[in-house]
Amino acid sequence: MSKLKSIRELKNLTQEELSDKSGISARTIQRIESGRDPKGYTLRVLAKVLEVQESELVTQQTKAENIIVEENEPLKEGISINYSYLKLINLSTIPFTVIPLLNILVPLILMLVLKQKNALTKQLISVQILWTIVAPILFMLGIFLKLGNKFTLLLIILIVFSNVFIILRNAIEIDRNKTLYYKLDFNLI
pLDDT in tens, 29-38: 888 888 888 8
Cβ atoms < 10 Å from Cβ of 140: 10
Element (H, E) at 82: strand 80-82
pLDDT for position 1: 63
CB 131 within 8 A of CB 163: yes
Question: Can you give the residue ranges of every domain in the chain?
Answer: 3-56, 70-177
CA atoms of 116 and 127, how far apart (whole Å): 16
pTM of the predicted model as reported, rounded to 2 decimal places: 0.56
Q: With a cut of 60, say whether residue 70 has pLDDT above it.
A: no
pLDDT for position 146: 82
Percentage above 70 pLDDT, the chain: 88
Q: How far, CA to CA in Å, does 141 sit from each of 7, 81, 135, 170?
A: 65, 39, 10, 27
CATH (residue range 3-56): 1.10.260.40
CA atoms of 84 and 25, how far apart (whole Å): 44
Element (H, E) at 117: none
CB 52 within 8 A of CB 4: no
